[in-house]
């Protein structure tokens, strides 16, 4: 049994969203003791020069203003650290992830906090976690040469140490909605709780 799930939704649609439906079904199947919800329909702040400056200021030298600029990022990282499993619901918008999910990624990928650079390259610091990505698309086939969403998510999750990544895809819905949804439901049924 999964203890804590971080359930992230990034679809702009708050109703009739395939990814929201799939991610909720996945979270229910996992039957976690605790669910941390993060709905990115309420956008996060984008990185700016002041935030970058705060981030690269050593923690013991940050001003109160810099600490305040990093507070949202710190809270998002705390959610990630608390979770055993991360469930991400994301549509493919224009071959990639929604800008709201990219904003979340920018806020959680922090050197010295979720990854480090070493002599042999970057090392993720959030090891031992599982991620399940619920993705939907109108025409883009998940894992294809034009899918820059799931490939990007797998890479960035691995970059911060989360290498156990599974995909539940309701892709190419415009071409075969019934078949695509059935394949996604079968993938959810096959997930180990």
Known binding-site residues equal 11
CA dihedral 143, 147, 150, 152 (to 10 degrees): 120
Residues marked as binding for FMN? Answer: 11
Any idea what the Cα angle at residue 147 is, between residues 142 and 149, rounded to 5°? 95
């Amino acid at each position: 049994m999964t203890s804590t799930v971080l359930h992230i939704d990034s679809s702009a649609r708050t109703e009739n969203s395939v990814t929201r439906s799939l991610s909720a079904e996945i979270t229910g199947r996992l039957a976690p003791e605790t669910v941390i919800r993060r709905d990115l329909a309420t956008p996060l702040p984008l990185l700016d020069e002041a935030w970058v400056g705060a981030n690269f200021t050593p923690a013991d030298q940050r001003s109160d203003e810099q600490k305040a600029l990093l507070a949202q990022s710190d809270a998002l990282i705390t959610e990630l650290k608390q979770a055993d499993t991360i469930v991400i619901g994301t549509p493919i918008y224009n071959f990639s992830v929604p800008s709201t999910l990219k904003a979340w990624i920018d806020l959680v990928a922090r050197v010295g906090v979720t990854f480090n650079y070493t002599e042999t390259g970057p090392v993720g610091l959030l090891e031992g976690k599982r991620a399940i990505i619920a993705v939907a698309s109108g025409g883009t086939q998940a894992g294809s040469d034009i899918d820059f969403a799931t490939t990007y998510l797998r890479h960035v999750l691995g970059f911060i140490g989360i290498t156990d990544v599974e995909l539940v895809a309701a892709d190419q819905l415009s071409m075969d909605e019934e078949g695509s949804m059935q394949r996604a439901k079968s993938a959810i049924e096959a997930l180990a709780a």
